[in-house]
Amino acid sequence: MNRLKTHVNKGDDVVVISGNHKGATGKVLEVLRKKNQVLIEGVRLIKKAVRKTQDNQEGGIVEREGPIHISNVKKTEATPKPKKATSKTKTKNKTA
């Protein structure tokens, strides 16, 4: 099975660049590769009704993170990487 390459991975810090939640930042909780979506901590909270079960005696309404399309998020660097100093040097033609 082919894995789709994504620009963000689980645990990365990202910022939402478009849509209703533009400007929101958070940590990637999960990457849904087949749907090209990501779950971001604290962004796009949706309410979901949960049925009573033996494990969950209370049931009720639970807030969970909803998926956001991967094209709407951009990776941010917590600590910016230092840029490499490059200098342009002219190459001299050596004649022997």
Residue 94 predicted with pLDDT over 90? no
Give residue limits of the domains in the chain. 13-75
Alpha carbon distances (Å) from 19 to 60, 69, 82:
29, 10, 31
pLDDT digits (tens, 9 = 90+) for 45-80: 999 999 999 998 988 999 999 999 999 999 997 666
- Which pLDDT does position 40 carry in this prediction? 96
Name the pTM for this structure.
Answer: 0.70
The whole-chain average pLDDT of the chain stands at 87
Residue 73 near residue 17 (C-beta atoms within 8 A): yes
Fold observed for domain 13-75: SH3 type barrels. (2.30.30)
